[in-house]
Structure 1
């Protein structure tokens, strides 16, 4: 989708991993992008604006959302383990923060609300993180019934790539392997994921701004399915190191699902996978180079 007459789009949480890549993709397509986040973006482009603020501050939200066509919401606590250990903060940021944004959207007649959700909404895994996303989706649907905005739920699978957080799965594996030459993995190695590179996910995230996806849920995943063992073997191979990995005898991965979940049935979703995508091997090599300090993960 191309930006029409430089329509204003606000990316809340645009200083982070997926948010910054999506903000860049929006800019490339001609939208007037403003990033709203609790901290300055180190990847801010010259053609983007930056506003530092709190999603619990209604006045700040209303100020930044004024005259906006759409808002992308990536903010909140997104690490499953952090969410489980900080229950009140998770509810406060992920649920009440979302409600606060939707209130501002309704009061300012913003046309589109793009909500970053997760595949965990289909499962019994994910602890408070999953519950906060399920609750937020339900809230957004209820608000839409009494207001004029249209929403899209973007339920992401396993993301990886440049700018990822320290707790990102593939990033942790790569860092341990290239810096320590070995890996301790909490699981059996049989866990399966549909990995998608963040660049591919950000393109799909802008594609679904199209009117065809109004009041829809979409799952955004990759077409490459690997077990954890296959992924770890690939990282060792690309890094040129002899494999040294210890799998947990308990065979548990904490609050994480062991295969892509479709157990529960929230709002029916359309599955989106990129027709052209970054190969997992190429993506892993990119991360090895980034984390080895060979390249910088700045914007194009």
Structure 2
């Protein structure tokens, strides 16, 4: 099958491209950079907001995975107009190019951050329950602009299904980590600080938790999402165990320490973590995360060391 991946040279997208190629698919990576371009993939260096160029690039593909986005929440806060253009207008452009090109499905990368806007019994005075893909979302509780852009993108996908019959799959990622992740992400910052002998800095009290999911496990879910069972469905791809920021620091200290820890003020509208079920992904796709957190951190560190030691080539 011929498959296009927007953001295919980025952190998650490059791993998705790698796994799709390993599964025997012909892959087109659509990205303005070639940073992590797989040599066995075709490359279209275009801006996804250029709908005519994107439509032409997608010609002949059957499925498009849409991973190109502004994913750094600090960057989203600093540039809200750019975030809306990248995450909402960009999704609209991909959907329209897929419609014009007659692609059979669009697979949208979303996030478990959207569950921060979920209406739950816990908010009504009961015990917080495990949330699934069918929990109601209250838009007035969307919180961070990043969440609002992802919710809007999901709404566009559903609208294209209703209006034009365009099939979709929505994948709500847990907090991803692993080789090629951005230096700003908490696991990367902690590992790099420890390896350099610098203190680890924790925002807030460190009790906020996330269910981190290793990037290779996420990429595996993307290949499985080609199944007909995934058509017109949403899947939460959550890590199996909640890991607090303190836990990350302790893991890094155990693997690469000793390290010292400093505390700073917490971020505004930060995602505090919810109990989210990935049961539907396991039932319909046979997917569940396989990599435990410490192993994933070690693999990232190995990749980071190898990258740092690699000679650079002058341009």
Shorter chain as normaliser: what TM range?
0.7 to 0.9
Query: 1:143-171 CA deviation, whole Å, 9 max, x = no partner?
Result: 11122321011000111000111222211
User: Alignment partner for residue 130 of structure 1, among 147, 152, 175?
Assistant: 147
**Alignment partner of 1:245 is 2:261:** yes
Q: CA deviation at 1:125?
A: 6.1
Distance 1:289 1:149 in 2: 42
2:215 equivalent in structure 1: 198
2:98 equivalent in structure 1: 105
Distance 2:309 2:288 in 1: 27
Query: 1:162-206 CA deviation, whole Å, 9 max, x = no partner?
Result: 011122221111112221331111121211111111001100121
Q: How does 1:28-107 map to 2 (within 5 A)?
A: 28-45=22-39, 47-107=40-100
2:128 equivalent in structure 1: none
**Alignment partner of 1:15 is 2:9:** yes
Secondary structure of the 2:242 match is: strand
Cα 1:203–1:224, aligned 2, differ >3 Å: closer, same or farther?
same
Q: How does 1:121-270 map to 2 (within 5 A)?
A: 121-123=114-116, 124=141, 127-239=144-256, 241-248=257-264, 250=265, 252-260=266-274, 270=280
2:124 equivalent in structure 1: none
Q: After the TM superposition, which segments of 4 or more aligned residues of structure 1 sit over 6 Å from their partners?
A: 294-297
Is the CA contact 1:184–1:246 (under 8 Å) kept in the aligned structure 2?
Answer: yes
Is the CA contact 1:290–1:296 (under 8 Å) kept in the aligned structure 2?
Answer: no
Distance 1:276 1:165 in 2: 21
Count of residues in Structure 1 that have an aligned counterpart in Structure 2: 282
**Alignment partner of 1:277 is 2:290:** yes
Secondary structure of the 1:236 match is: helix
Secondary structure of the 2:60 match is: coil
Note the aligned Cα RMSD (angstroms): 2.2
Q: CA deviation at 1:287?
A: 1.8
TM-score, normalised relative to structure 1? 0.88
Distance 1:184 1:125 in 2: 27
Is the CA contact 1:81–1:255 (under 8 Å) kept in the aligned structure 2?
Answer: no
Q: CA deviation at 1:23?
A: 0.6
Is the CA contact 1:80–1:255 (under 8 Å) kept in the aligned structure 2?
Answer: no
Is the CA contact 1:160–1:170 (under 8 Å) kept in the aligned structure 2?
Answer: yes
Secondary structure of the 2:270 match is: coil
Distance 1:202 1:177 in 2: 28
The structure where helix makes up a greater share of residues is: 2
Is the CA contact 2:213–2:289 (under 8 Å) kept in the aligned structure 1?
Answer: no
Distance 1:216 1:67 in 2: 24
Q: CA deviation at 1:269?
A: 9.1
User: Alignment partner for residue 21 of structure 2, among 27, 30, 41?
Assistant: 27
1:265 equivalent in structure 2: none
Is the CA contact 1:115–1:152 (under 8 Å) kept in the aligned structure 2?
Answer: yes
Distance 1:175 1:136 in 2: 33
Query: 1:90-131 CA deviation, whole Å, 9 max, x = no partner?
Result: 111111111111111111110010000011112146611110
Is the CA contact 2:9–2:36 (under 8 Å) kept in the aligned structure 1?
Answer: yes
1:3 equivalent in structure 2: none
TM-score, normalised relative to structure 2? 0.84
